[in-house]
Structure 1
Amino acid sequence: MDSLTQIVLGAAVGEAVLGKKVGNKAMLYGAIAGTIPDLDVIASFFTDTVTALEIHRGFTHSIVFSVVFAFVFGWLVSRYESYKDFKGWCCLFFWAFFTHPILDAHTTWGTQLFWPFDLRLAFKTIFVVDPLYTVPFIVFLLLAMFQKRTSEKRQFYNRMGLLISTSYLALTFILKWVAFTEFEKALENQNVSYTKIDTRPAPLNTILWNANVETEDAYLLANYSFFDTKPITFESYPKNHELIANYADNEKMQRMIHISKGWYTISQSENQLYFNDLRFGLLSLEPHSESFVFQFSINEDPITKDIYFVEQPKDTKDGKKLMSQLWNRIRGN
């Protein structure tokens, strides 16, 4: 999830663990702990693109990290804070660290909660930024913040924030199932033969859902809103996997395919090849758009002949245009 949401979640968890003992300091340390796992993005400054993608939401989002560093930070804080309960501080940092990847596991990228095992949990029920999850959470946290630390109202507000946000997460599983069912019906009604289907919410909401459908030679992409009145339409994007036949045995290419979980297409513009990760969809809802959220140019080193990937920059104009398109599409086709 986005940094603000993780800060709010960490603060609420910190309050639940030590709010009665240390007041707003519990929220402060919880908020700090809620952001620490995302420091793995620093890896992008020191490693190649493929390695940075593998590291993202890896070790720092694992149970191992939550346990080990809860002791480290718990010891550090208990050394200089007036409240010396080592166990209490460890509990605060553990739960703030642990709830971070649990929340991230609901997004499309997912988390390696069980690192070092190569298993990434990705429920794909919520977008990385969702106001319906975050805004109510912030409101109740602010209400709690301005109450006395021993006040029953403070505990009530904080619990309500946690309860409402958790209930919304549970609801997203139901919404995902309903959307998945609608996509399956549409494929059946249109006599589409496919091997697998993947669904996820569109940006900023859980009313509009996206689907990727794999067929023999192409992927079908589609959108469905709960307010739709017309049949779902699928747009075909050829796999073009044969374009990277020369790199089929290349280690970095194999790692990139693994990262995408096999949901990728290859496109070509003039002599340049691009690797398109389909799991995150498109930056446009216009028909036959080629503006993928995550697109990487495939480049070959002239000396070593090895390949490397470069993520293509995103145009802010595309983002603004997408927001307008999303609002119209959410209201139905």
Structure 2
Amino acid sequence: MDSLTQAVLGATVQTALLGRWQGRRALLYGAALGTLPDLDVVIDYGNAVNEMTYHRGFSHSLFVLTGVALLLTWLCGRWRDPGYSQRRLFLTLWLVLITHPLLDAFTTYGTQLFWPLPTTPVAWSSVFIIDPLYTLPLLLAVLAGLVLGPRDRTPRLAVAALLLSTTYLGWTLAAKYSAERQVRQVLAAQGQADARLFSAPLPFTSLLWRVMVDDGPERYRETWVGLFDGHPPQLVPLPRGGELAPILADSPAEQRLRWFTDDWLRYDRLGDDLVVTDLRLGATGYHSFRFVLAQREASGWRLVAEPSLWPRERGGREQLAVVWRRLWHPELPAPVADWAARLSRLPD
């Protein structure tokens, strides 16, 4: 999630548990500690693929953050208020730290909760990376705490905000299940009930979802599913370019991307570049991460030593307006094919 959301989440958690004794300082301590895991962004990992796939790594590990909480409890324990116990201090620091990666795991990016275990990064993918409906209750509780200060034995505003925001996360999981269920009903009628799916909310909403169906290395299908739709989803077949994948058989960068994305990749030859796209992130055709992994020369394809980002085509108000119209007008077709066609075009 965005840095503001992580800061207000940390501030609200610390206020709920220690605000009675720390007052407004709990907001400041919690906000600072809640953003600590994202300091891994200052590390130079060498190339664009590493920058993406090592982010949310060790600094987001539940194992590492538990150790950090124990260390901070030991360091700060001598200055704690005698009104609360060492155990309460540890619980607070631990919750402020681990709620950061747990919230990140609700997004599509991928969070390595169990680093150093080589498990696929966790991406429950039920929340867009910026979601005002989640952030607003926490932000209001923090602003009220700064103005009024915690006036109760238990800061009720902080507790209420946490309950409300957590309930919203539960709602997004239910919405995701509903969207996937609609697609599974279509697939079941085609004899493909066990097909592999990936779903993610479209920007700034939990009511409209992108759902992809894995049809193998050559193609995938995609649709938009609104929770208000009264008709079955229309799955649009799209090329995946798997015939180009053998060119990258010896590429460590491609292997790492396969692992990080759970193999939701697309391959395109664009001019003399072989571009690999993470299909999970962003809206159809406006994907956040595309990488140049090989280049065509007279003698054939050559793996690039340092993968770089392909120029990103950013969506704007026009694209958001299309999403908004589709949300409230289910009869409108989703522009999946038109937008996906951008992936096979050279930049202007």
State how far apart, in whole Å, the 2-side matches of 1:72 and 1:84 are. 21
TM-score normalized by the length of structure 2 = 0.83
226-235 vs 259-268, which deviates more?
226-235
Once the 2 structures are TM-superposed, how far is the Cα of residue 115 of structure 1 from its aligned partner? Answer: 1.4
Distance 1:80 1:299, change over 3 A: farther
Structure 2 counterpart of 1:221, which letter?
A: E
1:321 maps to 2:318: yes
Counterpart for residue 59 of structure 2: 60
202-211 vs 51-60, which deviates more?
51-60
State how far apart, in whole Å, the 2-side matches of 1:89 and 1:313 are. 46
Structure 2 counterpart of 1:67, which letter?
A: T
Which protein has greater RCO, CA pairs closer than 8 Å, 6+ apart?
Answer: 2
Counterpart for residue 270 of structure 1: 271
State how far apart, in whole Å, the 2-side matches of 1:84 and 1:279 are. 48
Structure 2 counterpart of 1:325, which letter?
A: V
State how far apart, in whole Å, the 2-side matches of 1:193 and 1:92 are. 44
Counterpart for residue 31 of structure 1: 31
Structure 2 counterpart of 1:54, which letter?
A: T
| SS, match of residue 33 in structure 1 | helix
| SS, match of residue 293 in structure 1 | coil
Distance 1:50 1:72, change over 3 A: same
Distance 1:164 1:11, change over 3 A: same
2:33·2:96 contact (CA, 8 Å) conserved in 1?
A: yes
1:293 maps to 2:292: no
Once the 2 structures are TM-superposed, how far is the Cα of residue 112 of structure 1 from its aligned partner? Answer: 1.6
| SS, match of residue 274 in structure 1 | strand
Q: Report 1:206-245 matches (<5 A).
A: 206-216=206-216, 217-245=218-246
Structure 1 counterpart of 2:328, which letter?
A: R
State how far apart, in whole Å, the 1-side matches of 2:150 and 2:18 are. 10
228-237 vs 216-225, which deviates more?
228-237
Once the 2 structures are TM-superposed, how far is the Cα of residue 142 of structure 1 from its aligned partner? Answer: 2.2
Once the 2 structures are TM-superposed, how far is the Cα of residue 300 of structure 1 from its aligned partner? Answer: 5.1
| SS, match of residue 198 in structure 2 | strand
| SS, match of residue 289 in structure 2 | strand
CA RMSD of aligned residues (A): 2.8
State how far apart, in whole Å, the 2-side matches of 1:150 and 1:92 are. 19
| SS, match of residue 68 in structure 1 | helix
Among 306, 309, 315, the alignment partner of 2:307 is 309
87-96 vs 263-272, which deviates more?
87-96
State how far apart, in whole Å, the 2-side matches of 1:184 and 1:332 are. 22
Unaligned runs of 5+ in 1: 283-288
Counterpart for residue 7 of structure 2: 7
2:294·2:303 contact (CA, 8 Å) conserved in 1?
A: no
Counterpart for residue 286 of structure 1: none
163-172 vs 245-254, which deviates more?
245-254
State how far apart, in whole Å, the 1-side matches of 2:189 and 2:109 are. 31
Counterpart for residue 173 of structure 2: 173
State how far apart, in whole Å, the 1-side matches of 2:109 and 2:79 are. 37
Counterpart for residue 251 of structure 2: 250
Once the 2 structures are TM-superposed, how far is the Cα of residue 323 of structure 1 from its aligned partner? Answer: 1.9
Counterpart for residue 129 of structure 1: 130
State how far apart, in whole Å, the 2-side matches of 1:15 and 1:123 are. 27
2:277·2:290 contact (CA, 8 Å) conserved in 1?
A: yes
State how far apart, in whole Å, the 2-side matches of 1:80 and 1:322 are. 52
Q: Report 1:193-204 matches (<5 A).
A: 195-204=195-204
136-145 vs 31-40, which deviates more?
136-145
Counterpart for residue 285 of structure 1: none
Unaligned runs of 5+ in 2: 331-348
Distance 1:80 1:156, change over 3 A: closer
State how far apart, in whole Å, the 2-side matches of 1:200 and 1:315 are. 19
State how far apart, in whole Å, the 2-side matches of 1:315 and 1:265 are. 16
State how far apart, in whole Å, the 2-side matches of 1:55 and 1:47 are. 11
Distance 1:46 1:281, change over 3 A: closer
The alignment of Structure 1 onto Structure 2 pairs a total of residues equal to 323
Counting aligned pairs with the same residue, the percent is 31
